[in-house]
Structure 1
Amino acid sequence: MIEQWINTINGYLWNDILIYVLIGCGIWFSVKLKGIQFTRFGHMFSVLRMSTQSSSQGISSFQALCTTLAARVGTGNLMGVAVAISLGGAGAVFWMWLIAFLGMATAFVESALGQLYKEKGENGEFRGGPAYYMRKGLNSKKMAIVFSLCLFFGYGFVFSAVQANSIAQAFEGSFGFTPLYTGIVITIIAAFIILGGLRNIARFAEITVPFMGVAYILVVGTVLVLNIEQVPVIFYSIIAQAFGFEEVAGGVFGAALQGIKRGLYSNEAGMGSSPNAAAAAVPYPPHPVSQGYIQMFAVFFDTIIICSCTAFVILLSQDSTAGAEGIQLTQQALASQVGSWGNEFISLAILVFGFTSIVANFAYADNNLKYINLNNFVGRWFLRVGFLVMLVVGAQATLPQVIALADMSVAMMTLVNVTAIILLTKAVVYITSDYNKQLASGKIPSFEVTTSQENELKLTQGIWLKHDK
């Protein structure tokens, strides 16, 4: 009965509430920021080119980008897209794209706020995220605690176990490896990385995420070039099925629902996860809005590029993948295009994408220990041990009841975060306008505040430059 109760609540939260809340949030900020994801699309890449600077106080913006991509680009980019197409047809891809463009505005806002309300940790490093802007910007300790508890449970224990399970299942299917042994190896390697803290995690992500992302894009790009005459057909199928010009089993509503859900799950915009890493960065230009642009790109890369790569390969290979589902659909689709090594390549991609998600999830959970009174020796080791144990457990069992609880936690976490960023709209509009005015005047934007502005915005004292005006 408890399991049925939880699944019923999740059904309402994800299918009837969150979808509309997140779409509404994306539209709200797209309007308030004058379509920033479109009008400033080119500037997003300019900021990305200047993102490698770091200091003793924080990681570089590029490392923060790779850390958030590590969490975003997980097994869902390979398996979840396959599920969306299986249930909603090619039209699901269009709705996935649409939700990604709306999500870019949401990601911009939450990450800029994460930067704006950051503070210094006990070792002088920057820390921040939704719990911090809820506590400071909204003066709501309750919201910060609820958010942190939900994130701690979902990202600290469960979702990494799910990633470990996906890796173990893929390696068992491709190479015959026993899931228990795969889980132990994953856990040992993860321990070496996470015990080094956020800097270690960021360095790991900085190396692995671009490597695997580029490799995946190159392989799929080659497949598309070799099948160039089919690409226009694929695009037509995506648009036609999205709007009902072409009949599909799931219908227009099914395509929209599956595409929107996949987009929301994959890009994480609005969930409040990525601002935890974004706040830890030393931004360049030295303005909180620059980190918003960096994380806006993360959503674009995750969904418009990586998820689309998976979708194109599957749609190219529909005649040779009948009956396949989930990750097997993706594996068979690529294998039909490049040969049997496609199965092994997808298994490797799952390993890298899934493992990077594992270590990034730990960083998010660790960043929120402060608001649940676990930011101490015992609390930190409780998280570390519990996190690593769940990797071994998760590699052998999917634990559907626990996953259902985690889904409910993330749904609650997202609702709290979306509420917070909408209430902080005035602050977002102010800092975005400040950035754009400086940019228009030919300056490299930097964020400076008076003491009164610092107090009015409820910022941490001394974090941003002061001027006397």
Structure 2
Amino acid sequence: MESVINAVNGIIWSQALIFMCLGAGLYFTFRTRFMQVRGFVEMIRLTVRGQSSDAGVSSFQALAMSMAGRIGIGNIAGVATAIAFGGPGAVFWMWVMGFLGASTSFVECTLAQIYKTRDAEGRYRGGPAYYIEKAMGLKWYALAFAVATIAAAGFLMPGVQANAIADSVANVCQGSALCGSLDGQWLGLPARDALKLGIGVVVALLLGVIIFGGVKRIAHFAEIVVPFMALGYILMAVTVMVLNAEYVPEMFRIIFESAFGTHAAFGAMLGLAVEWGVKRGVYANEAGQGTGPHAAAAAEVSHPAKQGYVQAFAIYFDTMLVCTSSAFLVLATGKYNVHGPDGKELYGGLPGVEAGAGYAQAAVESMLPGWGAGFIALALFFFAFTTIMAYYYMAETNLTYVNANRPRPLTVLALRLGIIAMVIFGAYRNATQAWALGDIGVGLMAWLNIVAILILHKPAMLALRDYERQKKLGVEPVFDPDALGIRNADFWRGRRAGPGGAVAGEAAPVRPVPQGEA
């Protein structure tokens, strides 16, 4: 089974997907005229503004929900894995992927807003499956993405997050007064496996409390927990950096020299640095993967581009702050290993330690003895738990699409019980298998979504030009798809057809730029 999983993973995550992720980000960066640079101030402004409604969540809640999915173990264990197998230079290519990915995120999340709809209960739903069907007219393609997302978000990827939680807690407990040695037997199982199984059950129960409360409970939980957990982690990384200030210049030198193949020890790893930097960058920030659009579509906004800007900022926050914090933790303290292309160890700062969260735990422990392992375990719990929560929302949204936006309680119950079961299973299973299954899920979604947005990106470009034009006129932008020649944007067409042709509480629409001028 392991050989089959690895073979499938190798096919999905071939060089073609690596270059497609980079190429799409580069293309959208030029196509949007570097909106991630020009619109940075607007990103910040829109992130803290907006209100929720009975049908949708606020822009900040949508950001928190998407960040819950983006900020997971990929930001800690994934970064460590990239450094272990791609060298320190992989960090630079993660930065590149983050910068380019901001434009990709803008496109996919704006498309999600343009083509969103309401389900049978009046809540906003949207995402790649919806814009693939409405904009491309390919129902089978949309169904393929929806099924892939249900499988990936509901059954493959949660195990990765649960496994990381269980492993990190087991690392803290090993040899402690509470657990003692984990070398014996507990309840007929190896002690460590029994502990991980118990942790999986606890996480599954907590998850059930959240997901059985619906999307509003998910949004409220995310907006409280996500900012707190991310800022706490960044603060810890800054503290470690200050305590290792004399090593910081050397750390940057190693990153850049390794990234361009000029470092004495890691120079031969240029190809691996690019591959692992892009691969883990996509896994961490999820730009182009098609996960962010689900939360983006749930936002209550007057113009689709608003949520595009907010979700572009999410990529910056995830990659440039959270992922970079993890990289600086391990590189500044030297607590990492690097394996060359032939498998030989080129650098061994942590002999015998497997690539993953253990690097970050050792890094913090080296500077703050007695705190490191526990702090990273706590951070990992919040990161991973909120990600599993976001995965459920994505899976439920695509299940709603498959059910034609009609309520089918038994299928929703089956999904909830299924993801809870996979959390328990993933916590207990081998970490290598969990990562491989997660990579397959991410890769399938990325392939299907990136091909779609490369074909469908024109409406997002029209929305961006329209938004910028209305801003220049000094009015609050509102969206009229008919004026832009965008078809099948049924939600927005119905909204514009309200009393007086304007949404309650908003300014009358300004005539947007005709399609030919965009």
Q: Would you say same fold, with TM above 0.5?
A: yes
User: Residue in 1 aligned with 2:350?
Assistant: 322
Match of 1:63 among 61, 78, 82: 61
Match of 2:375 among 327, 330, 345: 345
Q: Which runs of 5+ in 1 are unaligned?
A: none
Q: Which amino acid aligns with 1:90?
A: P
| Distance change in 2, residues 1:77/1:449 (3 Å) | closer
In the alignment, is residue 413 of structure 1 matched against residue 412 of structure 2?
no
Q: For 1:376-399, what per-residue CA distance to the aligned partner results, in whole angstroms no more than 9, with x for missing partners?
A: 111111101111111112211138
Q: For 1:258-297, what per-residue CA distance to the aligned partner results, in whole angstroms no more than 9, with x for missing partners?
A: 21211111111111111011101112xx210010111111
Match of 1:248 among 265, 269, 273: 265
Q: Which amino acid aligns with 2:253?
A: Y
- 3-state SS in 1 of match to 2:105: helix
Quick check: 2:281–2:319 contact (8 Å CA) kept in 1? yes
In the alignment, is residue 214 of structure 1 matched against residue 231 of structure 2?
yes
**Using the alignment, how far apart are the partners of 1:280 and 1:290 within structure 2?**
13
User: Residue in 2 aligned with 1:390?
Assistant: 422
Tell which deviates more after alignment, 403-412 or 292-301: 403-412
Quick check: 1:289–1:435 contact (8 Å CA) kept in 2? yes
Match of 1:269 among 265, 287, 290: 287
In the alignment, is residue 202 of structure 1 matched against residue 219 of structure 2?
yes
Match of 1:121 among 113, 119, 122: 119
Match of 1:456 among 477, 487, 507: 487
Matches within 5 A, 1:137-286: 137-176=135-174, 178-249=195-266, 251-283=269-301, 286=302
**Using the alignment, how far apart are the partners of 2:8 and 2:427 within structure 1?**
27
Structure with more helix by fraction = 1
Aligned residues: CA RMSD? 2.1
| Distance change in 2, residues 1:399/1:168 (3 Å) | closer
**Using the alignment, how far apart are the partners of 1:365 and 1:40 within structure 2?**
31
Quick check: 2:145–2:445 contact (8 Å CA) kept in 1? yes
| Distance change in 2, residues 1:129/1:43 (3 Å) | same
Match of 2:455 among 412, 420, 423: 423
| Distance change in 2, residues 1:436/1:459 (3 Å) | same
Matches within 5 A, 1:349-388: 349-373=379-403, 375-388=407-420
**Using the alignment, how far apart are the partners of 1:294 and 1:189 within structure 2?**
29
Quick check: 1:44–1:294 contact (8 Å CA) kept in 2? yes
Quick check: 1:127–1:276 contact (8 Å CA) kept in 2? yes
Q: Which amino acid aligns with 1:322?
A: L
**Using the alignment, how far apart are the partners of 1:274 and 1:6 within structure 2?**
26
User: Residue in 2 aligned with 1:102?
Assistant: 100
Quick check: 2:111–2:457 contact (8 Å CA) kept in 1? no
User: Residue in 1 aligned with 2:304?
Assistant: 288
Q: Which amino acid aligns with 2:14?
A: N
Q: For 1:428-469, what per-residue CA distance to the aligned partner results, in whole angstroms no more than 9, with x for missing partners?
A: 11111000111122222121344x757735433645425597
Q: For 1:407-445, what per-residue CA distance to the aligned partner results, in whole angstroms no more than 9, with x for missing partners?
A: 334323222211221221221111110001111222221
Quick check: 2:243–2:367 contact (8 Å CA) kept in 1? no
Quick check: 2:24–2:454 contact (8 Å CA) kept in 1? yes
| Distance change in 2, residues 1:380/1:98 (3 Å) | same
- Ranges of 4+ aligned residues in structure 1 off by more than 3 Å: 2-6, 398-410, 452-455, 457-464, 466-469
| Distance change in 2, residues 1:220/1:463 (3 Å) | farther
In the alignment, is residue 442 of structure 1 matched against residue 440 of structure 2?
no
How many residues align? The count is: 464
Q: Which amino acid aligns with 1:153?
A: A
| Distance change in 2, residues 1:428/1:131 (3 Å) | same
**Using the alignment, how far apart are the partners of 1:209 and 1:409 within structure 2?**
23
Q: TM-score normalised to the size of structure 2?
A: 0.85
Q: Which amino acid aligns with 1:440?
A: K
Identity of aligned residues (%): 39
**Using the alignment, how far apart are the partners of 2:258 and 2:434 within structure 1?**
35
**Using the alignment, how far apart are the partners of 2:436 and 2:240 within structure 1?**
37
Quick check: 1:158–1:403 contact (8 Å CA) kept in 2? no
Quick check: 2:294–2:394 contact (8 Å CA) kept in 1? yes
The higher radius of gyration belongs to: 2
- 3-state SS in 1 of match to 2:487: helix
